[in-house]
């Protein structure tokens, strides 16, 4: 990527982050305004509960995007598997129509693999427009890390432009805040000698990735 392309991608990722934070942060602002005018103790307690929920949602999303998009903890290091599990669990738990099945055989994963896993999990969550189950699995063997994300539900929506971005078929100029994370996954897989497969039906979305693993994780 050229320097301008990198800046454009960074700007689009920031746009995605801001889009996802707009709702919970706006709810905090509205809650504070209501709290300032509300005199009824019961209603004030309700306002406080909504403020707490919105603040927790905002914090969880910031933690998620910090690792999914950013340089949390530095570059080139291993990440305990519990960290992405906690981040994804927090997003799933925020929607009572979603459930999570976690299948991880590794105690830790390389940072690029964690970024791929988180971004694909976010795509899976977005696809479950009417709720459903998100399955996340990963293992390392034969010098390769394999990641599988499966979203199953009554209606699973997958934008074909996201699929194109995952396969590197969208130019930077064609990207949006919605497709930029998928393009970042493509770039990470390019750097790590990885490949991706996507299968979509009305009731499921399955994304499988294979990418190189550091020597310390070769099984």
- As given in the structure block, the two tokens for residue 181 are 């994370």
181 contacts 188 by C-beta, under 8 angstroms: no
Q: What is the pLDDT of residue 2?
A: 59
13 contacts 183 by C-beta, under 8 angstroms: no
- As given in the structure block, the two tokens for residue 102 are 């976690």
Confidence at 219, pLDDT banded by 50, 70, 90: very low
Coil/strand/helix, residue 106: coil
Reply yes or no on domain 3-217 having CATH 3.30.565.10: yes
Q: What is the pLDDT of residue 72?
A: 58
Confidence at 47, pLDDT banded by 50, 70, 90: confident
The Cα 133–Cα 153 span in angstroms is: 6
Q: What is the pLDDT of residue 171?
A: 82
The Cα 31–Cα 26 span in angstroms is: 8
Q: What is the pTM of this model?
A: 0.89
Closest CA to 113 of 9, 212, 12: 212
Q: What is the pLDDT of residue 124?
A: 97
Range list of H helices, the chain: 3-37, 41-68, 82-93, 111-127, 160-166, 180-191
Q: What is the pLDDT of residues 117-154, one digit of tens each?
A: 999 999 999 999 999 999 999 999 888 999 999 999 99
Q: What is the pLDDT of residues 60-103, one digit of tens each?
A: 999 999 999 986 545 558 899 999 999 999 999 999 999 999 99
Give the start-to-end residue ranges of the domains of the chain.
3-217
The Cα 146–Cα 194 span in angstroms is: 10
Q: What is the pLDDT of residue 24?
A: 87
User: Any bridge partners for residue 147, and if so which?
Assistant: 138, 209
């Amino acid at each position: 990527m050229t320097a301008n392309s990198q800046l454009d991608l960074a700007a689009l990722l920031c746009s995605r982050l801001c889009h996802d934070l707009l709702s919970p942060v706006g709810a905090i602002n509205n809650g504070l305004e209501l709290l300032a005018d509300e005199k009824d103790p019961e209603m004030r307690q309700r306002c406080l509960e909504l403020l707490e929920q919105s603040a927790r949602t905002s914090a969880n999303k910031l933690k998620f995007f910090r690792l999914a998009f950013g340089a949390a903890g530095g570059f080139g290091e291993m990440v305990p598997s519990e960290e992405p599990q906690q981040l994804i669990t927090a997003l799933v738990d925020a929607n009572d129509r979603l459930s999570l099945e976690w299948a991880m055989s590794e105690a830790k994963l390389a940072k690029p693999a964690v970024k791929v896993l988180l971004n694909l999990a976010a795509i899976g969550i977005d696809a479950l427009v009417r709720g459903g189950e998100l399955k996340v699995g990963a293992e390392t063997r034969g010098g390769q890390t394999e990641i599988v994300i499966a979203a199953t539900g009554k209606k699973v929506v997958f934008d074909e432009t996201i699929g194109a971005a995952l396969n590197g078929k969208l130019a930077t100029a064609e990207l949006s805040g919605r497709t930029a994370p998928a393009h970042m996954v493509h770039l990470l897989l390019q750097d790590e000698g990885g490949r991706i497969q996507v299968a979509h039906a009305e009731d499921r979305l399955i994304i499988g990735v294979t990418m190189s693993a550091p020597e310390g994780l070769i099984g």
